[in-house]
């Protein structure tokens, strides 16, 4: 593989195909237990060797798949950025390239949304104008508007001569930005070129493209009673900012409510309040008419009846224990299953999300982000809850596994009485499974409509911008190729 100045190379493939391993190997790095061979040459120096750190310093910028792990939780974002920058002009340029709001520089990482954390790490990666930029799933956690801005940012950086490697499941992002695409399958390149996303020749590439979601026909509303209800839900930060302001919502059994909005609009705060992980300042949450107060008396009921799937799946697993053991423990804790029964049920539900026993017996740090996200979904399903709250569960998923995951979620809705709250920037996923959509902006509900109606005729400016931003990620008829040999 050659990364050339001014060119964007996209690497696509299903979860576990080797994209992250490749991105690390090109820097001379690897995960524990992986031995590198071959050559990764940067300006004549082989990075697979003892001098790799000095050779790549300031030359290669890297955005990891899980940006929170790259941020120091005890230090404000702006202070770290100032220490990294070689000159005063570098910080404004980095903020512009990363589309990061300068007003957020005085915040700690935990005060940022997932999308804001991602842009903060990207600003750190580009602050010293690297010659090579390696981006692992840069669209994760980005709403449709910000994703469109990211397309423009990548194009601008490539236009200045930066060689960019884009490791992604987002085929729309690859179409809009890449000069050439590479398809990985089981650690091997099976296809590459400019034709890959328009006229694929390999069957695995065709399978990836075929798995891209298509909105289903609208269904008539199904009557239901009970379920999850929130009224007047408000969360006020210590500095007086209203993170949520008077949210009302209903999630009947067997129905899916999607919550969409720009990064920082309050989606994850709402999800955590619904799950009882964050105490609201005002308002209440009811499950089948009973208050889910954030206190000890209701802790067991919340744990068994409401399952929360975290946006950062890796952080939700114990890194030192096999995934299968952790999943099986859910059945024992929530339903009192025996050890043998819990293991058998865990193997079955993991298989339903595309993880075989060999993968399930591994520790979390040996699985890809997409595999861990599917394991987190399996863990929630195994508890057999009344409500599942999904915070960006399709991020990190390749089109095939994403389609299977959404199919599993749709089947769960059709065959059980579980209610689902889907927090997502992915309007394709929303169209596939959600019955109703709630649009958040600055902590307020600005629109709530049936899914088909909102996607076809959004009423508010915020909803229109989200839908238009998603439409802009669709393939263009033609695209000029950038780059120069060198």
In this prediction the pTM is 0.60
CA-angle at 141, arms to 153 and 244, nearest 5°: 115
pLDDT confidence tier of residue 181, bands split at 50, 70 and 90 = very high
Output the six-digit token pair for 232. Answer: 């007047």
Give the three-class secondary structure for 51: coil
More confident: 244 or 153: 244
Place of tokens 């990666």: 125
CATH no. of 228-471: 3.40.50.300
For the stretch 142-176, pLDDT in tens is 666 666 777 777 888 888 889 999 998 888 888 88
Residue 163, strand partner residues = 132
The CATH label, of 3.90.650.10, 3.30.429.10, 3.30.565.10, 3.40.50.300, for the domain at 8-210 is 3.40.50.300
Residue 441 is classified by DSSP as E
DSSP string, 98-161: HT--GGGTTS-GGGS-HHHHHHHHHHHHHTT--SEEEEESTTTT--HHHHHHHHHHHHHHHHTT
> What's the mean pLDDT in 346-358?
85
Q: Comparing 8-210 with 228-471, is the CATH topology the same?
A: yes
Q: Which tens digit of pLDDT belongs to each residue from 370-380? A: 788 888 888 88
Task: Please indicate whether residue 293 or residue 468 has the higher confidence score (pLDDT).
Answer: 468
250, two tokens? 């209903």
User: Could you tell me if 150 and 142 are in contact, meaning their C-beta atoms sit under 8 angstroms apart?
Assistant: yes
The answer to which of 102-106, 202-206, 480-484 has the lowest mean pLDDT is 480-484
Strands 282-287, 228-236: pairing kind: antiparallel
Mean pLDDT of 209-228: 59
Q: Using alpha carbons, select from 177, 180, 171, 173 the residue that is nearest to residue 206.
A: 171
CA angle, residues 340, 344, 345, in degrees to nearest 5: 115
pLDDT confidence bin for 484, thresholds 50/70/90:
very low
Helix axes 339-352, 369-382, angle to 10 degrees: 130
Buried b (16+ CB within 10 A) or exposed e, 259-276: bbbbbbbbbbbbbbbbbb
pLDDT of residue 184: 93
Q: Summarize the confidence of residues 401-430 as an average pLDDT.
A: 82
Q: H/E element holding 390? A: strand 387-391
**Mean pLDDT, all residues of the chain:** 82
pLDDT for the residue numbered 189:
94
What pLDDT does residue 422 have? Answer: 92
Q: Are 416 and 254 in contact (CB under 8 A)?
A: yes
Per domain, the residue ranges of the chain are 8-210, 228-471
Kindly report which listed range (42-51, 219-228, 272-281) carries the lowest average pLDDT score: 219-228
Q: Which two tokens stand for residue 282?
A: 């005002």
What is the total residue count of the chain?
486
Give the 3-state secondary structure of residue 350.
helix
* Residues 273-303: tens digit of each pLDDT: 898 888 888 888 888 877 775 443 445 555 5
* Other CB atoms within 10 A of residue 222 CB: 11
Q: What is the pLDDT of residues 17-31, one digit of tens each?
A: 899 999 999 988 888
How many angstroms from the chain centroid is the CA of residue 398?
11
Task: Give residue 134's pLDDT.
Answer: 92
């Amino acid at each position: 593989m050659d990364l050339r100045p001014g060119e964007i190379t996209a690497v696509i493939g299903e979860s576990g195909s080797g994209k992250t391993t490749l991105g690390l190997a090109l820097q001379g790095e690897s995960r524990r237990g992986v031995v590198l061979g071959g050559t990764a040459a940067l300006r004549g120096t082989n990075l697979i060797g003892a001098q790799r750190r000095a050779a790549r310093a300031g030359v290669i910028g890297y955005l990891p798949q899980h940006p929170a792990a790259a941020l120091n939780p005890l230090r404000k974002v702006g202070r770290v950025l100032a220490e990294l920058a070689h000159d005063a002009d570098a910080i404004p340029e980095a903020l512009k390239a990363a589309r990061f709001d300068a007003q957020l520089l005085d915040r700690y990482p935990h005060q940022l949304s997932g999308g804001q954390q991602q842009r903060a790490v990207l600003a750190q990666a580009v602050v010293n104008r690297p010659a090579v930029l390696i981006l692992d799933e840069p669209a994760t956690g980005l709403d449709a508007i910000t994703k469109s801005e990211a397309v423009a940012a990548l194009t601008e950086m490539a236009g200045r001569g930066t060689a960019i490697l884009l490791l992604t499941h987002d085929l729309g992002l690859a179409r809009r930005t890449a000069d050439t695409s590479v398809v990985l399958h089981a650690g091997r390149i099976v296809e590459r070129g400019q034709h890959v996303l328009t006229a694929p020749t390999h069957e695995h590439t065709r399978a990836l493209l075929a798995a891209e979601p298509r909105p289903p026909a609208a269904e008539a509303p199904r009557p239901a009673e009970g379920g999850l209800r929130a009224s007047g839900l408000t969360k006020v930060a210590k500095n007086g900012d209203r993170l949520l302001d008077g949210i009302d919502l209903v999630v009947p059994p067997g129905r899916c409510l999607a919550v969409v909005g720009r990064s920082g609009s309050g989606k994850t705060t709402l999800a955590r309040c619904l799950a009882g992980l964050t105490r609201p300042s005002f308002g209440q949450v009811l499950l089948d008419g009973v208050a889910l107060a954030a206190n000890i008396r209701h802790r067991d009921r919340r744990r068994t009846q409401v399952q929360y799937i975290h946006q950062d799946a890796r952080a939700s697993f114990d890194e030192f224990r096999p995934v299968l053991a952790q999943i099986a423990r859910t059945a024992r804790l929530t339903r009192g299953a025996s050890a043998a029964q819990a293991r058998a049920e865990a193997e079955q539900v993991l298989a339903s999300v595309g993880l075989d026993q060999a993968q399930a017996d591994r520790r979390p740090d040996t699985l890809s982000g997409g595999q861990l996200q599917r394991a987190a979904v399996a863990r929630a399903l195994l508890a057999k809850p009344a409500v599942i709250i999904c915070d960006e569960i399709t991020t990190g998923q390749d089109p095939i596994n994403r389609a299977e995951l959404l199919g599993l979620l749709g089947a769960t809705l059709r065959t059980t009485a579980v209610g689902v709250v889907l927090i997502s920037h992915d309007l394709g996923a929303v169209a596939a499974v959600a019955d109703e959509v709630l649009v958040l902006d600055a902590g307020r509900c600005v629109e709530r409509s049936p899914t088909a109606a909102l996607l076809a005729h959004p009423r508010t400016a915020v909803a229109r911008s989200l839908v238009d931003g998603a439409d802009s990620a669709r393939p263009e008829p033609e695209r000029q190729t950038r780059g120069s040999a060198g």
